[in-house]
Structure 1
């Protein structure tokens, strides 16, 4: 897996936008809210994403994973190398993070975005 693969997965979701934050992080957003943060210029590339509470502890205990700095209280996980996940795992976790963020968007905004 590489950043372009993750970008392709995220671009397949409705109403996704991308921007650069903190000068070096490619962020994927929906409704102005981040659902996946990558560091494409890091070696190896890293990422952070939101997970459900049931998976948070299990993922955080795996080698190469930890609670995301500054975002752990919101159940975000940091992965030290994006290649630690398969394409299927990225499809699952990116979609799950996206869906969790969409669920919290105001109904009016969801309607405006066609969600």
Structure 2
């Protein structure tokens, strides 16, 4: 997983905003809800994002992927090693994180931000 490519992908999603929180974390949000977090340093050295409940245990069983600190209860994972996921799978998981968070927004806000399709 190329973390810089993942950050670039996040920036392409409709309604995505990026800001720095907690002093050193680049946070990607849609509406007011986070869907991905990574270090603000370049190159990034890891990334956390939301996953489907069914995928959480499967992913955290892999080397280099752990439950995300503070967010594991909401089914977030933290990819600590670039070799834990290939770029294609990483892109699909980051997109799915965005979709899961987008789906929780109000219908009005979803319309304002644009469709995910």
After superposition, what is the alpha-carbon deviation per residue over 1:70-99, rounded to whole angstroms, capped at 9, x for unaligned? 111110001112442221012101100000
Kept in 2, the 8 Å contact 1:47–1:81? The answer is no
The alpha carbon displacement at 1:2 in A equals: 3.5
Q: Provide structure 1 residue ranges, at least 5 long, that are not aligned to the other structure.
A: none
Distance of 2:114 and 2:42 partners within structure 1: 34
Normalised by the size of structure 1, how large is the TM-score?
0.89
CA-to-partner distance for each residue in 1:15-68, whole Å, 9 max, x for gaps? 111001111111111112110000143987011100001110011111111111
Structural mapping, 1:6-85, within 5 Å: 6-41=6-41, 45-85=45-85
Task: Give the number of aligned pairs.
Answer: 115
Query: How high is the TM-score relative to the length of structure 2?
Result: 0.88
State the Cα RMSD in Å.
1.9
Whether contact under 8 Å (1:48, 1:78) holds in the other structure is yes
Please give the alpha-carbon distance, in whole angstroms, between the structure 1 residues aligned to 2:78 and 2:3.
15
Q: Secondary structure at the match of 1:37?
A: strand
Q: Mark the runs of 5 or more structure 2 residues left unpaired by the alignment.
A: none
